[in-house]
Structure 1
Amino acid sequence: MTDTSINTAPALGTADAAPERPWLDASLPVDDRVELLLAEMTVDEKAGLFFQTMITMGEDGELAEADPVFGLPSNREYVLDKGMTHFNLLGVAPTAGAIARWHNRLQELAASTRLGIPVTISTDPRHSFTENPGAAMLAGPFSQWPDSLGLAATRDAALVERFGDIARQEYTAVGIRVALHPQVDLATEPRWSRALQTFGEDAELSGELGAAYIRGFQNGDSFGPGAVSAMVKHFPGGGPQKDGEDPHFAYGREQVYPGGEFERHLKPFAAAFDAGVRQVMPYYGMPVGTEYEEVGFGFNKSVLTGLLRERYGFDGIVCTDWGLVNDAAIFGQPFPARAWGVEHLSPAERMHKILDAGADQFGGEACPELLLELVDSGTVSEERLDVSARRLLREKFLLGLFEDPFVDAEAADAIVGSAAFRAEGDAAQRASITVLANRDAVLPFSRGAKLYVEGIAAETAGAFGEVVATPAEADIAILRLQAPFEQRETMFENFFHAGSLDFSAEVLAHIAEVAAAVPTVVDVFLDRPAILGPVVESAHAVVGNWGASATALLDVLSGAAPAQGTLPFDIPSSMAAVEASRPDVPFDTADPLFRFGHGLSLQRR
């Protein structure tokens, strides 16, 4: 339904336009419609399809002007001057209606172009607690759920598919039609910063839950106007990072396989292909010491053509990870292109290598003029453009964007973050919370107890007991902590939690001091598998979460909700064990403190 607050152009999907735009005839097979439109397109118009990058919305759903903070052009420049039609929405809007109104205005802008090709809006995950803008967005108006590691802690494929279905409904209500997820990499290197958005380190579980996630987003077997196209990542598996460093950065560019487990990391992707996933994103990393070319996977023909296209028969869209071609600035800091293994190539040469490798779209880039230079010089043929343009146009047709690109902004506010959806997200948060240790059965605590809390608002805790100012006054203390990470040089690097998994001496001393005064529960946000041994020695109970509100946590700790979660990875016994482990091999740290699948139930005394 069209948002009546703006004057939407009648050019897209209307009978009046059909004689001049025969591809709008919905009675024709999609492949025929693609060919009709492709035949009408100029090379410039084709080139615009190949770029998908960040876009911002203006205040309260208006079109955005140029953004000096993020260095982005205005919405109009993207659509009218660059001819682009794929965008990844950046930032968090206050309401769903605002996103929907902006989306409609952007579609109206697209409808005013010569061919009226509708835009496709994508997004990184938007339903969790993550605060890393390089990986996910805060939930904002959307229902809030645990991150993927938390979904894995539930071991519940039906719950994961239901999450995907709810997220699909919320995304489509505001006009988002591509999910730049799920991330089915195996978290086999405990230090790796991207574990939170994975389903852990077990290949079978990751495949099962990744497939369920995709079915939910893509509307089961009914992919079409009501669906969201899922982009599985990061092919062929981004977990085996040397020293656990992330390949967003030059010092983390190498993926290594000392255990010879390259094939294991493909298993979750095979499950995603079986589930009908529509799109694939290769990772930044470059394989070292394998049969494959030692260049980043987005440039890697032996991987994208040989492995993905030929071995797996994947004929969907391949979109690179962000920023492989051009250097950029992020938060005001210079940031080199992630052209690992091909740093010596020019931007044009990198672009050519990506196309030759078998990719269809350049993520995080907005330079159609560079692609046109390659065509003008004869380096890239128009026939090669057509191969990818067909895939990209076909997806727009199948999603129904040519028939009805607009959304109902008033309905969006009722659908997104509805009470029912939020209740299901809250239930998933509770189900994911994992009790790791419970010495002397201090949990569950009694409602009405005197509570000393850190990391929990007094007002929230007050619904469960009497909040007191010091541990000495309390019956029980509850401390919420973040898993440790090392501070790095730039703001952007520090969004990617990396380095040592050891808590600082100061944090451990504080836990011990509180625990000496009162039975103490420590809850840790385990975005990475922290070294918990010293915490377990001091605290009376230790709990892990992967995105849960304080209320959800207290519901479990008080026994109002059952403790159901189980670990989606091993908890190592020491950093020495982590450093000695092989980054491509799951469950490879010696004598782990807690094993994959560990989780205690709580019995009322």
Structure 2
Amino acid sequence: MSSTSRPPADAPYRNASLSITERVANLLSQMTLLEKAGQLFHNMIPMGPNGSLSTSDNPLGLPSTDEYLNNKLMTHFNLIGGITDPKVAATWHNRLQEAARQTRLGIPVTVSTDPRNHFTDNVGTSFNAGCFSQWPETLGLAALRDAKLVQRFADIARQEYLAVGLRVALHPQIDLATEPRWARINATFGEDAELSGELGAAYIRGFQGTNGIVKDSVSCITKHFPGGGPEKDGEDSHFTYGKEQVYPGDNFDYHLIPFKKALEAGTSQVMPYYSQPIGLKIDGEKIEEVGFAFNKQIITNLLREKMGFNGIICTDWGLVTDANILGQNMPARAWGCEHLSPVERVAKILHAGCDQFGGESCPELVVEAVEKGLISEARIDESVRRLLEEKFKLGLFDDPFVDVEKAASIVGRQDFTREGEDAQQRAYTLLKNENDILPLHLDASAKIYTEGFDATLLTSRLPHITITNNPETADITLLRLKAPYTSRTGGFESFFHAGSLEYTPDEKARQAKIYKSTPTIVDLYLDRPACVPEVAEGASAVLCSYGASAEAFLDVLLGRAGPEGKLPFDLPRSMESVRGSREDVPFDTVDPVFRFGEGMRYKRG
């Protein structure tokens, strides 16, 4: 066991002139088992008021910053909550790094984040952009089919992240949308493996650079290996009813294509999904039916040995202990390993080949596993070495602080914002334009009925028009609709848009009445594919969006910008066709209303 005295100021690991290998080896030799164990945990952390460090009475019930740093000896944190003021966020980050510097070894903190640069009102798996530049969701980037644009987006997000001290991106998500009902499709690049791989690789290059992890990189955790798309019946494995992943089309290798391209692009980290594979065989070998992070055949045999990945593998959140998330009691997502104790789960995950436990803060379980002989300290060292090496590559040991004043001039910079707004507009996908009704030209006497956005945004542009609250008296109706979903109860669960892809009979009847009474232009927000043949039939024009502001919609509507997007997935004809399709096979529903790649542009006079 290493000494618990503070190392001298000239300890080799503090010497920037030495190689990273030498510095890591020296630091590792100084660490106690508990200090090593602390590196293996990566949990959420909030900011306190006005950029202060969080205390034990934080609203999320998470450990205080002091508890994390000085008792649990952790140094990897996922910043939870929105950022509205970059100077406040930068100040918080610097305070956190200063507190870490006061610990025995002074190991700097690595702060990660879920996506922050997309226009969204569903914060279950990302955050509202706040003060960051706002772009369409990744489905919108996929609709534009432009790898250079994706890399530019990622480079801009990288600069904004760096300004406030965010050094790890818990993205990209390169799962494939082969099961249309899955609730997490909005963060993917769609249904096609080659396109998803190409765009995912560009995304990684934009965040990390093209020469490996360096001091100006943001490290990417590419997820969810080996592809989280083929969820049984489209349910999600955050929840007990969605824990099974199936391959009725024997199409496992198709889901690996984006990950192969991500590894070629140099992704520094990979995250496996919660799901347990059912009935899966690889090269004739039956795969153990346990969650992917517990699965040595998937993590070590496939990802590390066969695919050659030697970077960090961080589990998804909450595999070891039960938790309460947004008021909802959530069991540990230890699918197939529910019978194991928490310490046994820790040992199995490490034996599988993972390095870090996401959403957990229980390093004492690693210590217990070593003391009980369930795992060796040498195995712990292997993972700690990877994690420390990345901190050194990111330059955190030499200068972990950010420039508070400069942060405000970078985050949400005018040109960044303008590029994001332009991408929102261009990503719009035009699927129907009867009689070339779009772009819309309104005369002074026009009466407009609207739903789904603030009508004053329209009248501020066109003050001569009249807004009516009755579509039957309108000359034109503008509807901004969300793709159908079935509401779920529970705090956390309510963020997941799952279930039916069809509108209810009552909603179909309500819309049909509007379509019959007035020419109607529909803006359909697609966070999943939608089964809406009645919209395609009844509306005069159909636009699809993937995270766009009302301002972007009006710019496209009025011809100040033109739609350029192409569908990133099929739009199925019915739920019957969805239920009859195979979860792991792309483009597998019968007679879709619109197909992958469809999308028109405006005719210009």
Cα offset, 1:543, TM superposition:
1.2
Letter in structure 2 aligned against 1:558 = L
Counterpart position of 2:4: none
Counterpart position of 1:539: 539
Structure 1, residues 263-288: CA drift from partner, whole Å, max 9, x if none?
A: 00000000000000000000000111
Structure 1, residues 535-570: CA drift from partner, whole Å, max 9, x if none?
A: 112211111111011111111122111210100000
State the SS of the aligned residue for 2:18: coil
Does the 8 A contact of 1:69 with 1:331 survive in 2?
no
State the SS of the aligned residue for 1:462: helix
Counterpart position of 1:59: 49
Counterpart position of 1:412: 407
Does the 8 A contact of 2:212 with 2:266 survive in 1?
no
In 1, distance between residues paired with 2:264 and 2:199? 13
Counterpart position of 2:115: 125
The answer as to 2:450 corresponding to 1:453 is yes
Cα offset, 1:103, TM superposition:
0.5
Counterpart position of 1:469: 468
Counterpart position of 1:481: 481
In 2, distance between residues paired with 1:235 and 1:398? 24
Letter in structure 2 aligned against 1:423 = R
Give the TM-score normalised by the residue count of structure 1. 0.95
Structure 1, residues 375-402: CA drift from partner, whole Å, max 9, x if none?
A: 1222221111100000000000000001
Greater shift, 531-540 or 151-160, is seen at: 531-540
Letter in structure 2 aligned against 1:260 = D
In 2, distance between residues paired with 1:99 and 1:467? 44
State the SS of the aligned residue for 1:577: helix
Does the 8 A contact of 1:18 with 1:24 survive in 2?
no
Q: 1:377–1:467: structure 2 CA closer, same or farther, 3 Å change rule?
A: farther
Letter in structure 2 aligned against 1:593 = V
In 1, distance between residues paired with 2:423 and 2:242? 33
State the SS of the aligned residue for 2:24: helix
2:198 to 200, 203, 208: 208
The answer as to 2:313 corresponding to 1:315 is no
Counterpart position of 2:184: 194
Counterpart position of 1:13: none
Letter in structure 2 aligned against 1:333 = Q
Cα offset, 1:499, TM superposition:
0.6
Counterpart position of 1:9: none
In 1, distance between residues paired with 2:546 and 2:58? 34
Aligned residue runs from structure 1 range 501-520, under 5 A: 501-520=501-520
Letter in structure 1 aligned against 2:457 = T
Q: 1:222–1:298: structure 2 CA closer, same or farther, 3 Å change rule?
A: closer
Counterpart position of 1:33: 23
1:359 to 351, 354, 365: 354
Structure 1, residues 17-53: CA drift from partner, whole Å, max 9, x if none?
A: 9753221211111111100111111111111100001
Aligned residue runs from structure 1 range 292-371, under 5 A: 292-371=287-366
The answer as to 2:277 corresponding to 1:257 is no
2:150 to 155, 160, 165: 160
Aligned residue runs from structure 1 range 164-313, under 5 A: 164-221=154-211, 223-291=213-281, 292-313=287-308
Counterpart position of 1:142: 132
Greater shift, 322-331 or 512-521, is seen at: 512-521
In 2, distance between residues paired with 1:518 and 1:301? 60
1:74 to 64, 71, 78: 64
Structure 1, residues 183-227: CA drift from partner, whole Å, max 9, x if none?
A: 000010000001000000100000000000000000232631111
Counterpart position of 2:526: 526
In 1, distance between residues paired with 2:149 and 2:137? 13
Letter in structure 2 aligned against 1:407 = V
Letter in structure 1 aligned against 2:169 = A
Does the 8 A contact of 1:511 with 1:539 survive in 2?
no
In 2, distance between residues paired with 1:283 and 1:502? 27
Does the 8 A contact of 2:39 with 2:74 survive in 1?
yes
State the SS of the aligned residue for 1:176: coil
Counterpart position of 1:422: 417
State the SS of the aligned residue for 1:542: strand
Letter in structure 1 aligned against 2:112 = S
Greater shift, 124-133 or 286-295, is seen at: 124-133
2:434 to 422, 432, 439: 439
Q: 1:18–1:403: structure 2 CA closer, same or farther, 3 Å change rule?
A: farther
Counterpart position of 1:42: 32
Cα offset, 1:593, TM superposition:
0.5
In 2, distance between residues paired with 1:300 and 1:193? 24
In 1, distance between residues paired with 2:141 and 2:604? 26
Structure 1, residues 283-317: CA drift from partner, whole Å, max 9, x if none?
A: 00011111221100010000000000001110000
Letter in structure 2 aligned against 1:378 = G
State the SS of the aligned residue for 2:167: strand
Does the 8 A contact of 2:327 with 2:490 survive in 1?
no
State the SS of the aligned residue for 1:456: coil
Does the 8 A contact of 1:444 with 1:604 survive in 2?
no
In 2, distance between residues paired with 1:472 and 1:487? 30
Letter in structure 2 aligned against 1:598 = E
Structure 1, residues 122-149: CA drift from partner, whole Å, max 9, x if none?
A: 0010111334444111111111011111
In 2, distance between residues paired with 1:569 and 1:599? 11
1:106 to 96, 100, 122: 96
Instruction: Count the aligned residue pairs.
Output: 589
In 2, distance between residues paired with 1:58 and 1:79? 15
In 1, distance between residues paired with 2:527 and 2:517? 29
In 2, distance between residues paired with 1:19 and 1:70? 37
Does the 8 A contact of 1:447 with 1:464 survive in 2?
no
In 1, distance between residues paired with 2:197 and 2:307? 15
The answer as to 2:582 corresponding to 1:582 is yes
The answer as to 2:378 corresponding to 1:383 is yes
Cα offset, 1:473, TM superposition:
4.7
Q: 1:452–1:276: structure 2 CA closer, same or farther, 3 Å change rule?
A: same
Cα RMSD (Å): 1.4
Q: Percent identity?
A: 58
Cα offset, 1:440, TM superposition:
2.3
Counterpart position of 1:10: none
In 2, distance between residues paired with 1:497 and 1:454? 20
Counterpart position of 2:3: none
In 2, distance between residues paired with 1:96 and 1:506? 45
Counterpart position of 1:88: 78
Structure 2 gap ranges (5+):
1-6, 282-286
Structure 1 gap ranges (5+):
1-16
Letter in structure 2 aligned against 1:380 = I
In 2, distance between residues paired with 1:115 and 1:18? 10
Letter in structure 2 aligned against 1:28 = L
State the SS of the aligned residue for 2:375: coil
Cα offset, 1:336, TM superposition:
0.3
In 2, distance between residues paired with 1:451 and 1:276? 51
Does the 8 A contact of 1:447 with 1:558 survive in 2?
no
State the SS of the aligned residue for 1:182: coil
